[in-house]
Amino acid sequence: MAYGIEVKNLSGYTQIDGLDRNLQIIATGTTSAMGMSETLTTSLPSGVDNSVVVFIAPNATAGVGGTNDLSIWGFIDYPNNTFVIGRALSAYTYSQPGFKYIVCVANQTEPSTGYGFNTYTAGGDLAFSSVYKQMKAVLHYTYTLNRFNEFVFDEASPSWASGTLPQDYYVMVNALGRTGKIVVGTPYWYYWCSSVTWGWSTASTNARFHNRVELGSTIALPRNTGTVTNVFSEDTRTQVIARNI
């Protein structure tokens, strides 16, 4: 930025500056359990606009399934004011617990009472206020969809806080979503989607079984027939991993 104050975290992610508006937390909650459902829909607070950002994290203290991890995809359904979490094809054989979620907006209003520290954009909009509770972004990563987990954030990463577990890290739903289709034989097909996987360590010596959050791509349930509809995402997007502190 050309002038003002700028604060970055250990991984180089900008926390405060005079250009970008921070994310004010307006709601928190826990979704219902997925059970064997292929998708789970949760309502957003009324009155939010397209600046809404949703972060999710597992509401669990250990992994699920034989690989000790939990993999999902999701998107925000703006017309219906909901967000949707979906099950990956590889995660079909076991139930998944509910998810913690945090809803944020960028269109903050200037606080009228209290003391603290405010910064503003060049246009006069409130960019940051210490009065509001904010999400703490620990890293961001821009990736292109492929068939593999492309990025791994784990205990070896500088921004992984000492003593934290995978379920302490929230991933932004906005950057997930359905992006194309995989044909598995007429008339059936699946969506190809970006995804997030939370994984937990075990006594196994296999390098896969360690505390981590993975970003990448997967095949999404449910199985579909007919024409492709509602492709919600682009092929390249920036993902944000954050903590609620």
Structure confidence by residue, pLDDT tens digits, 27-83: 999 999 887 788 899 999 998 888 888 999 998 777 776 678 888 888 898 889 999
| Domain contains 1 | no
**DSSP 8-state assignment for residue 33:** P
In terms of DSSP bridges, do strands 14-16 and 7-8 run parallel, antiparallel, or are they unpaired?
Answer: antiparallel
Q: String of b and e for 142-168 (b: at least 16 CB within 10 Å)?
A: ebebeeebbebbeeebebbeeeebbbb
Secondary structure of residue 166 in the 3-state scheme: helix
Are 52 and 76 within 8 A, CB to CB? Answer: yes
**Mean pLDDT calculated for residue range 10-29:** 66
Secondary structure of residue 71 in the 3-state scheme: strand
d(CA 185, CA 191): 14
**Is it the case that residue 222 has pLDDT exceeding 50?**
yes
Owning domain of residue 199: 7-243
**DSSP 8-state assignment for residue 175:** G
Return the closest-CA partner of residue 213 out of 93, 57, 92, 74. Answer: 57
Are 119 and 19 within 8 A, CB to CB? Answer: no
Number of C-alpha atoms within 13 angstroms, CB side, residue 150?
17
**Is it the case that residue 129 has pLDDT exceeding 70?**
no
d(CA 17, CA 126): 11
Structure token pair of residue 58: 């597992």
d(CA 178, CA 142): 17
| Domain contains 171 | yes
Q: What is the pLDDT of residues 135-145, one digit of tens each?
A: 777 888 877 76
| Domain contains 2 | no
Q: Among 12-26, 116-130, 158-172, which range has the highest average pLDDT? A: 158-172
Tokens 């206020």 — which residue? 129
**Is it the case that residue 1 has pLDDT exceeding 50?**
no
What is the number of domains present in the chain?
Answer: 1
d(CA 198, CA 170): 10
pTM: 0.80
Tokens 């939370």 — which residue? 198
Structure token pair of residue 222: 């449910």
